[in-house]
Amino acid sequence: MSHSGNIVSLFVTLFICTLDGYSMMNYRVPTKRAYGYFAAVTAVCLAFNSYITIHYGSTVLRSVILFTIGLPYFVLILLITKDKISQTVFNFWLWINIYDIIANFSAFINDYTLKDAYFLTALRFVLFGGYFILYNKHLKAKHRMLMDRLKVNWWIFSFIPMSFTGLICLVNYYFLDFHGVTRNYPVLLMICILMLLVYILIFYTFQTAGDAMERERIAGNMKEQILLQKKQYEFYLQKREAERIFRHDARHRDSILISYLENGEVEGAKEFLKKELAEIEKNAKIPFCENTLINAVLSEYRTKAEQEGLEFSARIQMPKELACDEAEFCVMLSNLLENSLDAAKSYIAISIKHLNHQLSLNVKNDYEGGLKKSAENNYLTTKPQGSGLGLKSVEAILKSNSGFLKIEDTDGVFDVFATLKN
């Protein structure tokens, strides 16, 4: 193939591989900007590798392409991804393995059929395009679910695709011409079969672990929902009891009032009524919202906060009926308020708003002392008997409802923002 043919082949491969690799990651920049970054890196890689092809030949390019193309893309992905670095490393080397399988399979077909470079380019375009469609339609959701749900050490698992890549590079380096063909296909076939078996085993293991974690999460949510229903019932009983006591005491109040009036003590009757009205206003609890379950949760934590000597303020603007799972929202609300109650120094402030089919929740409190964080920058519980599962439960609920969580702690104030679709 001429130099121009090699450059066209390189461009086609880079283009379709960029689309495939892009799909496997999550990015913290808008899609258009991310594509712009990838286009810029693609242009630089195309120019640099075209120079190598023209001056040193395609054989040299094949031996260094992992560094002249893989490394620039890897650095770019690290800079703009919102995944953890360990997850990004695993996904990158996983994609390199997929590229190796498709590249070697297409080379095998070409070497034993037409032995034409343009046919090889067209075949790779079809195979990579087919993988792009397959991944986005059937595999992406499961892949991202496992990435987000599983809490494993991705650094360790990254050595698996890196090892397979190293093996394939060694085989291709030492067998540039194997019995008239460009690759040692028996060895490469064994490596690819082993690779597929290992990934099937990993996927099955991860899927099993993910299902177990999901069942555990559902069981935990059900337990929380039962507790919430119990709290709601207790709240209802307390309200009924207060009404019963009020009606019972009304007879005595009426008797005293009649006694004042019969004796002509109008001023005494006025003072008595003023005291009664002041007591009623003192004990009156205005509902936070029309949703009875959420109102029960807020009322419970207001009472707990007042018992701890904390100021509790709430601004609630939300519909009576929720489109999202009401019980899950209450579980999330309870977890955040429980954390605030344990850490608050003098106040707890909560705000719930509903706007444009989005339900936003903000819980804020001041605190004393320092906060603990894990090596991955996650907040850890400071309670002696705490499990640290509160925020993890909140994150799981938000992920299942296409939500978002943001935590800030500045100047002694812990601020949690959460939004989810409603």
pLDDT tens digits, one per residue of 238-257? 667 766 766 666 666 777 77
Burial letters 350-387, b for 16+ CB under 10 A, else e: bebeeeeeebbbbbbbbbeeeeeeeeeeebebeeeeee
388 has pLDDT over 60: no
Report d(CA 216, CA 222) in Å as an integer.
Answer: 10
pLDDT tens digits, one per residue of 146-190? 887 777 888 999 999 999 988 888 887 776 555 555 578 888 889
**This model's pTM is above 0.95:** no
On whether the CB atoms of residues 53 and 61 are closer than 8 A, the answer is yes
402 has pLDDT over 70: yes
On whether the CB atoms of residues 3 and 59 are closer than 8 A, the answer is no
Domains of the chain: 3-183 (no CATH), 286-422 (3.30.565.10)
**Distance of CA 252 to CAs 172, 259, 399, Å?**
98, 11, 56
pLDDT at 285: 59
* Residue type for position 282: K
pLDDT tens digits, one per residue of 30-42? 878 888 898 899 8
Three-class SS of residue 361?
A: strand
On whether the CB atoms of residues 37 and 76 are closer than 8 A, the answer is yes
Helix (H) or strand (E) holding 387: none
